[in-house]
Amino acid sequence: MFQTDRLKLKILNSKYAKDLEELFCKNHLVMKTTLKGRVFTAEEFKKILKEDFIQSKNNKVGFWCLTSIEEDKLIGISGLLKCNYLNKDNYEFGFILNEDNWGSGFATELGKFWLKYAKEEMNLTELLATVSPENNPSKKVLEKLKMECIDEIITKERGRRLIFRIKV
């Protein structure tokens, strides 16, 4: 488990299953600018839980469940994922927060955490992030982290995305 000043990043736990399903499969507001650009089907949700979430303390790549330090209640997810957007293997970090936590500074806090982690724990020289062109708040977070928008791509799974990069 990792933590920032105000957040804990925890491995997937069955006690978060209902809240994760609510976020991924029913929260149209949050999901419209993340991952698939829409809520997930039940099968897609099962697949992402199995394939992309941190299941063990030994895993470094995948999504972590986010809770506040004060409460053990799911407020979103964040993680580091492998990617190949620029015709080379790389890593991107990301975050999805319930709308109750928008504007709280959590996204910037998570970004700073992942930048430090990428450099100090994974010895990476750069880190990427992708964002929907319509997601202005997330773009502002990436710019605040001194990330530079370097490209725009269109993927079958995620649609149009801006690619931000920073040297770490």
- In the chain the domains, ranked by start, together with CATH numbers, are 2-167 (3.40.630.30)
Q: Is residue 51 a contact partner of residue 41, using CB atoms and an 8 Å limit?
A: no
pTM: 0.94
**CA dist., res. 9 & res. 54, Å (int):** 10
- For residue range 114-167, what is the model confidence (pLDDT) as tens digits? 999 999 999 999 999 999 999 999 999 999 999 999 999 998 888 899 999 999
